[in-house]
Structure 1
Amino acid sequence: MLGENHLLTQEFPEYLAAIIELKSTNSTFCKMAKRYHQLDHQIRGLESNEVPISDEHFLELKAERAALKDQLYQLLVAHSKLPS
């Protein structure tokens, strides 16, 4: 869907507490989450404003966002399995 927001908290609502915690305690997660949000904002802007961009570049942006989402998910799952 064009212009759809892919916030981590909307994509993974079951990991809300882990997202908040990792953003403040894990610098790797925080950097990756910031890049993910930058990409999401950029992609939504390109879609909603119909900015001319090559298909190749647009697909690269979306592929990077998807790869980051997968990596962030893995970190969330691993964090959630740690004993409290």
Structure 2
Amino acid sequence: MTTDGPINLHTFGDLQRYGYRLTIHCPTCRDYRDLDLTKIRPDRPHIGARFKCGACGGPGSATLSQISTGNSAHLPALERWRGTGR
């Protein structure tokens, strides 16, 4: 998806739309899992959301990253969201 203006990364739907993923890390059992964004209501805000480990039930922390597309196309959404993109 290409946009000419600023984008918003406020909801789980925004993350999915612009090619991002959330990886949840559990410090208790040291498990890492990618969150399936298609199973979360797309209008739900991800900022301030709490995550629970699927393996042990402990609290999880989230890391936002771009999904690799397998080609040379760069996904500039985070840079544009920060105001550093073109």
| Pairwise same-fold verdict (TM > 0.5) | no
Could you say which structure has the higher helix fraction?
A: 1
Could you say which structure has the higher strand fraction?
A: 2
Question: TM-score, with normalisation over the residues of structure 2?
Answer: 0.23
Question: TM-score, with normalisation over the residues of structure 1?
Answer: 0.24
